[in-house]
Amino acid sequence: MLQSIAESLDIRSEIIPRIATGLCGGVARTGDICGAVSGGVLAISLATGRNHPAEPREDNQRLARMFLDECERQFGSTRCEKLMGCRLDTPEGMKFFKENKLREKCAFLTREAARIATRLVKEHECARTGT
């Protein structure tokens, strides 16, 4: 998620996959916020975040909230455990995930979250530049 959006912004860095590794499974398989959703917030921040603590952050936070709201509306939740119907930090949860082929659902949610984040970043850029 983060890597693909970074590349669409012509940002390439070998550290990007490492930065997002712990987001999988709802942040370290805790079932909390979906890793794709977390990655989307990181991607939005990569595109619209500040470079210095004194810079304003309102636009970035507005876009991140819009992203979270849209994911909630489209997916029904932003929590991995609710989206997958299991926790991935237990053997039972991993078994359920595999038996129900939830990797495909996860991949679909990741693609959709990337689509939403990319659209919001592009709309923000168009509004900012007037194009």
Span 13-37, pLDDT tens digits:
989 889 989 998 999 999 999 999 9
In which band, very low, low, confident or very high, does the pLDDT at 128 lie, cut at 50, 70 and 90? confident
Cβ atoms 89, 30 nearer than 8 A: yes
pLDDT in tens, 57-92: 999 999 999 999 999 999 999 999 999 999 999 999
Beta-bridge mates of residue 33: 79
Give the whole-number percent of the chain exceeding pLDDT 70. 100
How far apart are alpha carbons 55 and 121 in whole angstroms? 19
Which residue in the block uniquely carries the two structure tokens 């398989």?
29
Q: What is the pTM of this model?
A: 0.90
